A and B are shown apart, each in its own frame.
Chain A
Amino acid sequence: MLLEVKDLHVSFHTYAGEVKAVRGLSYTLNKGEVLAVVGESGCGKSVSVQTVLRLIPIPPGEIKKGEILLNGRDVLKLSEKEMQKVRGNEVSMIFQDPMTSLNPTMTIGRQIAEVLTRHQGMRRVAAMEKAIEILTLVEVPNARERAHQYPHEFSGGMRQRVMIAMALACSPDLLIADEPSTALDVTIQAQMLDLLKGLQKKLQTSIILITHDLGVVANIAQQVMIMYAGLAVETGDLREVFYDARHPYTWGLMKSMSRLDLNRKRRLTPIEGVPPDLLNPPEGCPFADRCDYAMRVCREEMPELKIVSGNHGCACWLLHEEAPKVSRPELNGG
Chain B
Amino acid sequence: MEAIAKERFEPIPKNIQAGQIIGRKPLSYWQDAWRRLRMNRVAMASMWVLLFIFLVAIIGPVLFPQYRENHLNETLMAPNAKYWFGTDDLGRDNFARVLRGSRISLFIGLTVAFISLIIGVLYGGISGYIGGWLDSLMMRIIDILITIPDMIILILLLVVLKPGVGTLILALSLTSWTSMARLVRGQVLQLKEQEFILAARVLGAGTWRIILRHLIPNALSVIIVRFTMSIPGIIFSEAFLSYIGLGIRIPEASWGNLASQGAQQFPSNLWLFFIPAAFICVTMLAFNLFGDGLRDALDPKMRK
- A touches B in complex, CB < 8 A: yes
Segment of B6-14, B119-127, B279-287 engaged in the interface with chain A: B6-14
B18 contact set on A, CB distance < 8 A: 273, 276, 282, 289-290
Segment of B20-28, B163-171, B181-189, B195-203 engaged in the interface with chain A: B20-28
The answer on a CB contact under 8 Å between B23 and A280 is yes
The answer on a CB contact under 8 Å between A290 and B23 is no
B17 at the interface (CB under 8 A from A): yes
B1 at the interface (CB under 8 A from A): yes
B218 to chain A, nearest CB (A): 24
A199 contact set on B, CB distance < 8 A: none
A295-B23 contact in complex given A289-B14, A289-B16, A321-B1, C-beta closer than 8 Å:
no
The answer on a CB contact under 8 Å between A297 and B8 is yes
A301 to chain B, nearest CB (A): 8
A154 at the interface (CB under 8 A from B): no
B81 at the interface (CB under 8 A from A): no
Residue from B8, B14, B17, B25 within 8 A of A296 (CB atoms): B8
B23 contact set on A, CB distance < 8 A: 276-277, 279-280
B22 contact set on A, CB distance < 8 A: 276-277, 280
The answer on a CB contact under 8 Å between B19 and A273 is yes
SS class, residues of chain A in contact with chain B: loop
Residue from A274, A275, A276, A292 within 8 A of B14 (CB atoms): A292
Give the one of A275, A289, A320, A321 with max B CB within 10 A.
A289
The answer on a CB contact under 8 Å between B8 and A279 is no
For chain A, give the interface size range: 20 to 34
B20 contact set on A, CB distance < 8 A: 273-274
The answer on a CB contact under 8 Å between B4 and A322 is yes
B2 to chain A, nearest CB (A): 9
Residue from A16, A282, A296 within 8 A of B10 (CB atoms): A296
A195 at the interface (CB under 8 A from B): no
A319 to chain B, nearest CB (A): 10
The answer on a CB contact under 8 Å between B19 and A296 is no
Residue from B4, B13, B14, B304 within 8 A of A320 (CB atoms): B4
Distance A309 CA – B13 CA, assembled complex (angstroms): 30
Q: For residues 282 through 316 of chain A, which have their beta carbon under 8 Å from a beta carbon of chain B?
A: 282, 289-300
Distance A282 CA – B7 CA, assembled complex (angstroms): 21
A272 to chain B, nearest CB (A): 5
Residue from A14, A298, A299, A320 within 8 A of B1 (CB atoms): A320
B31 at the interface (CB under 8 A from A): no
The answer on a CB contact under 8 Å between A296 and B16 is no
The answer on a CB contact under 8 Å between B12 and A272 is no
Distance A298 CA – B11 CA, assembled complex (angstroms): 9
A317 contact set on B, CB distance < 8 A: 9
For chain B, give the interface size range: 20 to 34
The answer on a CB contact under 8 Å between A290 and B7 is no
SS class, residues of chain B in contact with chain A: loop
A273 contact set on B, CB distance < 8 A: 14-20
The answer on a CB contact under 8 Å between A295 and B11 is yes
A333 at the interface (CB under 8 A from B): no
Distance A289 CA – B16 CA, assembled complex (angstroms): 6
Distance A273 CA – B9 CA, assembled complex (angstroms): 23
Residue from A276, A293, A324 within 8 A of B19 (CB atoms): A276
A300 contact set on B, CB distance < 8 A: 8
A295 contact set on B, CB distance < 8 A: 8-12
Distance A290 CA – B24 CA, assembled complex (angstroms): 19
The answer on a CB contact under 8 Å between A274 and B12 is no
A323 at the interface (CB under 8 A from B): yes
Residue of A nearest to B39 (CB): A15
A277 contact set on B, CB distance < 8 A: 19, 22-24
B207 to chain A, nearest CB (A): 34
The answer on a CB contact under 8 Å between B12 and A290 is no
**How would residues 178 to 220 of chain A score, 1 for a CB under 8 Å from any chain B CB and 0 otherwise?**
0000000000000000000000000000000000000000000
Residue of A nearest to B17 (CB): A273
B262 to chain A, nearest CB (A): 47
A16 contact set on B, CB distance < 8 A: 24-25, 304
B27 to chain A, nearest CB (A): 10
B19 to chain A, nearest CB (A): 4
The answer on a CB contact under 8 Å between A323 and B14 is no
Residue of A nearest to B20 (CB): A274
The answer on a CB contact under 8 Å between B4 and A297 is yes
Distance A200 CA – B186 CA, assembled complex (angstroms): 46
B15 contact set on A, CB distance < 8 A: 273, 289-290
**How would residues 248 to 282 of chain A score, 1 for a CB under 8 Å from any chain B CB and 0 otherwise?**
00000000000000000000000011111101101
Distance A295 CA – B12 CA, assembled complex (angstroms): 5
A279-B24 contact in complex given A297-B4, A320-B9, C-beta closer than 8 Å:
yes
B304 contact set on A, CB distance < 8 A: 14-16
The answer on a CB contact under 8 Å between B14 and A294 is yes
**How would residues 227 to 264 of chain B score, 1 for a CB under 8 Å from any chain A CB and 0 otherwise?**
00000000000000000000000000000000000000
- 14 more A-B residue pairs beyond the given contacts A273-B17, A324-B9, with a C-beta to C-beta distance below 8 A: A16-B24, A273-B18, A274-B20, A276-B19, A277-B19, A277-B22, A290-B15, A296-B9, A297-B8, A298-B12, A320-B1, A320-B4, A322-B6, A323-B9
Chain B interface (Cβ < 8 Å from any Cβ of A): 1, 4, 6-20, 22-25, 304
Cross-chain pairs A/B with CB under 8 angstroms, 11 sampled: A14-B304, A276-B18, A277-B19, A277-B22, A279-B23, A280-B23, A289-B16, A294-B12, A296-B9, A296-B12, A322-B9
What 4 A-B pairs have minimum CB-CB distances, sorted nearest first?
A277-B23, A273-B16, A289-B18, A274-B19
